[in-house]
Homo-oligomer: A and B are copies of this chain.
Amino acid sequence: MEDTRTRLVTAMAELFRRQGFNGTSLKQVINAAGVPFGSLYHFFPGGKEQLAEATIRSSGTAYQQLCEAIYDAAADPGSAITDLFDGAAEVLEQSGYADACPIGTVALEVASTNARLRQTTADVFGDWCESIATRLGRAGIDPPVAQELATVIVAAIEGGFMLSRTARSPEPMQITGRFMRGLVETALTERARR
């Protein structure tokens, strides 16, 4: 059985995906976690902000591990990229466009209003970029180019979530993924040519 702390973080992560930070009340988290109210302040004396920070870090790591597993299972970097975007599109479609990025909505909400949580989301995006850049570098793309490509891919997947969720269509995410694959394959070809 999951411990109480994990249940709180898991419940908050699920609510973040669907309705973000300001749209999620502690009461909703407690109810979804099925734990007594007092346990929240036992594990998170800093309240909503502290729970949010733990949730962003834990969801960020979990999402990164999922993406790395998908990436590493692919035959080549180009397929890895479309697998990532097509996988995200499939999850969106199957969940009625609710099971989205656990960080994106919160990141925009807190960017100008909560310095601590803004930094937490920046750390997560930084880790994601690093993870992708390392893999593109291993495939032979020059590290500075790999770093820039990774930034564009993370931006594109977040923008893909936004457009696919608002349009309730997998297409923006799928289309964006195909163009990202093109950018990666172009970088690999340019590298091979030199």
Contact = CB atoms under 8 A, between A and B. Distances in A.
A105 B23 CA distance: 12
A18 B179 contact: no
Report the contact-size class of chain A (Cβ under 8 Å from the partner).
35 or more
A166 interface: yes
A148 B183 CA distance: 15
Contacts of A19: 22, 109, 112-113
A126 B21 CA distance: 26
Interface of A: 18-23, 96-98, 100, 104-105, 107-109, 111-113, 118, 121-122, 125-126, 148-149, 151-152, 154-163, 165-168, 171-172, 175-176, 178-179, 182-183, 186
